[in-house]
Structure 1
Amino acid sequence: MSKEQMNRAIKVGVLGFGGLGQAASKVLAPKQEMILVAAADKQGYIYNEAGLNEDACIDVYYQQGSVGYLEPNGTLSHNSIEELIQKAAVDGYFLALPNLPNTFMADVARLFIESGWRGVLVDALKRTSAVEQLLELKEELLAAGITYMTGCGATPGLLTAGAAIAAQSYAEIHRVKITFGVGIANWEAYRATIREDIAHLPGFDVEKARAMSDEQVEAFLDKTNGILTLENMEHADDIMLELAGICSRDRVTVGGVVDTRNPKKPLSTNVQITGRTFEGKISTHTFTLGDETSMAANVCGPAFGYLKAGVSLHRRGIYGLFTAAEIMPQFVK
């Protein structure tokens, strides 16, 4: 990237450097319109206005447990997010953080509001109740000069946006059914994501899943042969489509199958939108994602597309809270 391109590029930070955060850094690496300059995890952070080397960040995270160990720009800290907000000149952050406990993302949003920082925040939140907490901060985000894009991963996110577009064929929406298939070779690469999925299973909740040790998760996955089958999940696609005026949330269902031991998807991810046309016909649109696209590709790609759209809004003085069903993402070159 030339110096001129670097100056024009959107400067991005990634909070959380587990599986999703690492994938996000790889997605950004070849981009010309965005440059990764900051990253944080539980134990530290790294900031370099000239850009980060994603391979070096990933290597040190695996070897020592934190990007804070990477010389010369890493810093070890137990207040990594707060310190990075104050230190880094960043246009927007992707919050690749586990929402465990269920209040965590709203708490992080409050950190940004209280810090006086202005810019764009993007999350890939799953739970309806977590998005409801952010809705309570809508006026505060607006007043703080923050443009916050929520539910901008795969589901909610890419599939919710697909449903919002497909709904235009109909006079009335009867049902939106989202079914996802996720395949990962090793659950430990996405520990927080898998814990969040376990929290949706009968007999579990967010706190119980959060409290499980890695050994307990392993033992549970042994019982299910590595397969998690999820039905009628509390997924924010419902509130996002309701807020967009497309249908009431009780007409939206989300479920799927996660294979934690095989990178091949156990089934194709799709969204089906059933409705009545103005001629009185009942029909269903189906939008199916390619089986070769990974969870990381379908989460991080849209997240940065929404971040670019958020930067466009922010530069026009448009602040507050928006969802993936309200704003079109912009492709990041």
Structure 2
Amino acid sequence: MNPVQGKIRVGVLGFGGLGQAAATILAQKQEMEWVAVADHKGYAYNPAGLDPQACRAVYQSQGTVGYLEPYGTLSHQSIQDLLEKAEVDGYFLALPNLPNTFMASVAQQFIQSGWRGVLVDALKRTSAVEQLLTLREDLKGAGITYLTGCGATPGLLTAAATLAAQSYSEIHSVKITFGVGIANWEAYRATIREDIAHLPGYSVEKAQAMSDQEVAELLDQTNGILALENMEHADDIMLELAGICDRHQVTVGGVVDTRNPKKPLSTNVQVTGRTFEGKISTHTFTLGDETSMAANVCGPAFGYLKAGIKFHRQGFYGLLTAADLMPQFVR
């Protein structure tokens, strides 16, 4: 692994909307070097660093970074092949969690490969995090520091709720409300499908099986708006594990506009509780409307990755969530 003063070598798994945004963010960082990327058809690796624009152009024109010359390789087992070839300190798993068992299966690939380092995901569903919890001892034994639920929600807003809770002797509720605006849903196909899976009458399996045409038809029926309530979001289990409150006290919902980059409402978290003086109060933390979904997901993910590297170098392995430690700002 790099010395502490050296650049952190980062890989990104998945090169859809979030993966491409992650690459763009990494290009602006001095403390991290983006050296590896994989999609479902291939991978690219350059220890001196990859060019986000070149990778994006190849991916959009040919469907995989595997065609990137001279660093790309076509592969039907791209993650496994990349792990064998690349020297990487930490990976951001910008992967669609469809089916719901997918992220846990990726974690098992890392465990079985013998790779040691830091993994960060932006998982949404409670049940997906529960599956990772069963791998805690395996991750620890493999020398992997895995940080889960480190996007916006779960992630940034879960961490904010954890801090806000400290003013109270007793927590009554945590309410997370998000607004997402994107100009074109096709830039975030997997994310939108995961959101559709939360709608009444839909499931992860049903959303995964939908063709792009079927998704477009659904969005036509709703004028591009997805209104989501009482979502199965891992903020609940993360706050419960952190001892903040019971999971049933946490609610998550929001509005996604798939045709307009302007947020339909401001993303915020409200933490209500009773102080030691017996007063009931609410803390509200609101994200700036100008910050995009990608900024609020990828930024925290890399902040947690940096914190994870510090923990890993001190010999701490296993599973943590965004409510367990503070992210560190990546310069």
Of 115, 119, 122, the match for 2:120: 122
Residue 184 of structure 1 contacts residue 264 of structure 1 at CA under 8 Å; is this kept in 2? yes
C-alpha distance in structure 2 between counterparts of 1:10 and 1:165, whole Å:
28
C-alpha distance in structure 2 between counterparts of 1:59 and 1:317, whole Å:
39
Match of 1:201 in 2: 199
Could you report, residue by residue, the CA deviation over 1:215-244 in whole angstroms, capped at 9, with x for unpaired residues? 000000000000000000000000000000
Counterpart of 1:207, as a letter, is: E
Q: How many residues align structurally?
A: 330
Could you report, residue by residue, the CA deviation over 1:11-59 in whole angstroms, capped at 9, with x for unpaired residues? 0000000000000000100100001000000110000000000100001
Counterpart of 2:40, as a letter, is: K
C-alpha distance in structure 2 between counterparts of 1:170 and 1:287, whole Å:
16
RMSD over aligned Cα, in angstroms?
1.2
C-alpha distance in structure 1 between counterparts of 2:319 and 2:24, whole Å:
27
Match of 1:24 in 2: 22
Work out the percentage of aligned pairs sharing the same amino acid.
78
The reply to whether residue 149 of structure 1 matches residue 147 of structure 2 is: yes
Residue 5 of structure 1 contacts residue 32 of structure 1 at CA under 8 Å; is this kept in 2? no
C-alpha distance in structure 2 between counterparts of 1:321 and 1:6, whole Å:
22
Residue 6 of structure 1 contacts residue 35 of structure 1 at CA under 8 Å; is this kept in 2? no
Could you report, residue by residue, the CA deviation over 1:289-323 in whole angstroms, capped at 9, with x for unpaired residues? 00000000000000000000000000000000000
Of 35, 52, 77, the match for 2:33: 35
Counterpart of 1:166, as a letter, is: A
For residue 140 of structure 1, give the secondary structure of its aligned residue in structure 2.
Answer: helix
Match of 1:303 in 2: 301
For residue 8 of structure 1, give the secondary structure of its aligned residue in structure 2.
Answer: coil
Q: Which runs of 5+ in 2 are unaligned?
A: none
C-alpha distance in structure 2 between counterparts of 1:36 and 1:307, whole Å:
13
Residue 198 of structure 1 contacts residue 204 of structure 1 at CA under 8 Å; is this kept in 2? yes
Match of 1:102 in 2: 100
Write the mapping of 1:1-333 to structure 2, written as runs, cut at 5 A: 8-333=6-331
Could you report, residue by residue, the CA deviation over 1:55-105 in whole angstroms, capped at 9, with x for unpaired residues? 000010001000110100100000000000111000000000000000000
C-alpha distance in structure 2 between counterparts of 1:8 and 1:304, whole Å:
16
Cα distance change on mapping 1:292 and 1:102 into 2, 3 Å: same
Counterpart of 1:40, as a letter, is: A
Could you report, residue by residue, the CA deviation over 1:237-284 in whole angstroms, capped at 9, with x for unpaired residues? 000000000000000000000000000000000000000000000000
Q: Which runs of 5+ in 1 are unaligned?
A: none
TM-score, normalised to structure 1's length?
0.98
Cα distance change on mapping 1:139 and 1:219 into 2, 3 Å: same
C-alpha distance in structure 1 between counterparts of 2:252 and 2:138, whole Å:
30
Deviation at 1:5, TM superposition (A): 11
TM-score, normalised to structure 2's length?
0.99
